């Protein structure tokens, strides 16, 4: 994640630059949390998975706003934006995947519906992890 | 397949009944083949399965007109009609399923698109097996 690294570096540099002037009470911890953004391809899964167990143990409900991601912790809230139309939706990670096809995230049918990507089947999206 | 068996039985009976009258040149083979119809719920699967092997060994392509059925032989052509809007599409069985949710058939994304059921996610359909 070069962006994250650069942002962190900038924050450190900024802190250093300020330090000699005034060692203020608000070091980096209070800086607004930078959500690491990832761009990639999303697809979705629907009724064919209804009722099956997700990797989190929860049953999959295609009408809920959830998603599968390979790494983000279960329960993480992520804002997903369809880069083709600007629509966005907040989903909760409750499953693992996608493991094929070079995609970044698999959304629930409901999330795909809100992003208006049911007809395209796939979409380029941006993921932003939301603070707890 | 009780329907198909009854149809065969009827054809045999009909042939027998006709036999004494005139052993015509058109025995059961020329009788119109009765496609056994099944009604049930369809869902679909899409890009999240793209490239994976189906039960027939063929790779799944969501843009092709295929379907998963628990019993019909691979290669069987089936007409699927969306009972909500009358649209129909012919698909080729190349996968096994659905194994959960009490559904009758899982269609490819393209088949679901042609039946205009992407937004509903599921639909009541009628399946009719087509003659080879």
Q: Which residue has the tokens 């995609």?
A: A103
Averaged pLDDT, A50-58? 95
Q: What six digits make up the tokens of A106?
A: 């698999």
Residue B119: alpha-carbon gap to chain centroid: 22
Q: Which ranges of chain A does DSSP label H, i.e. alpha helix?
A: 2-18, 109-114
Share of chain A above pLDDT 90, in %: 68
Beta-sheet pairing, A105-108 with B88-95:
unpaired
Give the N- to C-terminal CA distance of chain B in Å, as an integer. 17
- Distance in angstroms (rounded) separating the CA atoms of residues A63 and B119: 12
pLDDT band at B76 (very low <50, low <70, confident <90, very high): very high
pLDDT band at B73 (very low <50, low <70, confident <90, very high): very high
- Distance in angstroms (rounded) separating the CA atoms of residues A12 and B31: 84
On the question of pLDDT at A20 being above 50, the answer is: no
Output the CA torsion B108→B111→B112→B115 (10° steps). -170
Q: What six digits make up the tokens of B106?
A: 């899982």
pLDDT band at B101 (very low <50, low <70, confident <90, very high): confident
The predicted pLDDT at position A41 comes to 97
Averaged pLDDT, B93-118? 95
Inter-chain contact A121–B62, Cβ cutoff 8 Å? yes
CB contacts of B50 in chain A (<8 Å) are: 43, 100-101
Averaged pLDDT, A101-117? 96
How many pairs of residues across A and B have Cβ atoms under 8 Å apart?
Answer: 59
On the question of pLDDT at B31 being above 70, the answer is: no
The predicted pLDDT at position A114 comes to 98
Averaged pLDDT, A20-36? 52
The answer to whether the beta carbons of residues B68 and B101 sit under 8 Å apart is no
CB contacts of A97 in chain B (<8 Å) are: 48
pLDDT band at A100 (very low <50, low <70, confident <90, very high): confident
Query: At a CB cut-off of 8 Å and minimum separation 6, what does A76 contact?
Result: A69, A92, A93, A129, A130
Query: At a CB cut-off of 8 Å and minimum separation 6, what does A31 contact?
Result: A11
- Element (H or E) spanning A92, and its range? strand A88-95
Averaged pLDDT, B58-82? 97
- Distance in angstroms (rounded) separating the CA atoms of residues A67 and A78: 9
On the question of pLDDT at A102 being above 80, the answer is: yes
Share of chain B above pLDDT 70, in %: 73
DSSP B114: H
Give the residue among A69, A51, A71, A72 at the shortest CA–CA distance from A61.
A51
DSSP A120: T
On the question of pLDDT at B60 being above 50, the answer is: yes
Buried b (16+ CB within 10 A) or exposed e, B75-93: ebbbbbbbeeeeeebebbb
The predicted pLDDT at position A33 comes to 56
More confident residue, A79 or A33: A79
| C-alpha R_g of chain B | 18
How many helical (H) and strand (E) elements, i.e. helices and strands, does chain B have? 2, 6
CB contacts of A108 in chain B (<8 Å) are: none
Q: Which of residues 43-82 of B touch A (CB under 8 A)?
A: 43-48, 50-52, 62
């Amino acid at each position: 994640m070069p962006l994250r690294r650069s942002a962190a570096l900038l924050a450190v540099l900024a802190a250093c630059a300020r330090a000699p002037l005034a060692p203020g009470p608000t070091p980096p911890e209070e800086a607004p949390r930078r959500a690491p953004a990832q761009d990639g391809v999303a697809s979705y899964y629907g009724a064919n998975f209804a009722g099956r167990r997700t990797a989190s143990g929860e049953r999959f409900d295609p009408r809920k706003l959830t998603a599968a991601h390979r790494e983000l912790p279960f329960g993480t809230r992520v804002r997903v934006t369809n880069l083709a139309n600007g629509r966005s939706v907040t989903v909760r990670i409750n499953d693992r995947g996608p493991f094929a096809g070079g995609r970044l995230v698999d959304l629930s049918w409901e999330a795909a519906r809100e992003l208006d990507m049911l007809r395209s089947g796939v979409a380029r999206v941006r993921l932003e992890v939301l603070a707890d």
